[in-house]
Amino acid sequence: MSSEGQIMDQINATLAEAIDQVTNSTTKPKSTPEGMAIAYGSLVVMALIPIFYGSFRSVGFQKEQKESGEKVEPMSRKEAALFPLYASCALVGLYVFFKFFSKEHINLLLSAYFFVLGTISLSSVFSNFLEYLMGRFTPNLARKVDKYHFLFNKNQDEIVNLEFDTKDIASFLACSGIGVWYIFKKHWIANNLFGFAFAIKAIEFINLNNVVTGCILLCGLFVYDIFWVFGTDVMVTVAKSFDAPIKLVFPQDFLENGFFGNHFAMLGLGDIVIPGIFIALLLRFDVSLNRGKNGDFMTLFKYEESSADEPEDEPEPVERTKKNK
């Protein structure tokens, strides 16, 4: 009886401890109203940075393409209409993979993929920003940067043709360190740095040539979101399983835990890129008219700032540019 009594006492103590843990975890607030305000306010600011910088990069990219004689291929209406279908196929593919294969192994492959892609994208953004700073504040030093050219041909076919300089090498090494930090720690700051780079490069390279194409794209993505989020569990399942820098995050418990917070508010990169390509379209339109103040661009950018939490309403002011055209 004594041994049975000891066993029962241990079981009761274990149950009491488990109940206390469950009670504390459910009653203790994960974040405060002040912490939530800081988190969502920070997300708004972080969303505006890649939109603003990426829009100006899109102008520079098109200018470089035209000066080099390369033809700028904008997104066609057919591509805009089919884009939600391609996105749906990719989403279902990920859903199937996560259902039938190990989530840890898939995320390991995704981490390696995004390490390479993120490092290249972030180093490109950082190198461009460093080039701007050097040209503005240290022009003499900018002219002394060593330049390199790597060319690899096979059977008179060009395989690799890279031009880079010292600052590109320094940027790549620094961003590789950030990539290693992300791989091993998955810290939210490293995640956001990669997210910044992806959003900036997407806004820079995705070229809308008119508002009609953009509206087709937006309407298709609207139906895509409604169906996959509210009609099925596919989007939610993939979002919970997908561990990659495809979103910006900020800890809602920042006031309590600082940079080591783990209860995050998040904003998907799609909610940044889609309004961003419309704003980039307006900036290119202003530049084509030689407007000194970029009137349409600043008007829509301010509209984006005032309603950044409602991305589905962003493209409405773009209709005004259609009338101007």
Catalytic positions are 225, 271
Which residue, chain included where needed, has tokens 């540019």? 321
The amino acid present at 109, given as its one-letter code, is: L
SS3 of residue 186 by DSSP: coil
CA–CA separation, 205 vs 188, rounded Å? 26
Tokens of 145: 């940067």
| Pairing outcome for strands 247-251 and 157-165 | unpaired
Q: What are the phi and psi torsion angles at 98 (to 5°)?
A: -70, -25
- Cα 128 to the center of its chain, rounded Å: 18
CA–CA separation, 307 vs 52, rounded Å? 15
Cα dihedral 5→8→13→19 (10° resolution): -150
CB 267 within 8 A of CB 308: no
CA–CA separation, 58 vs 240, rounded Å? 32
Cα dihedral 23→24→26→31 (10° resolution): 170
Tokens of 13: 């103590």
DSSP 313: G
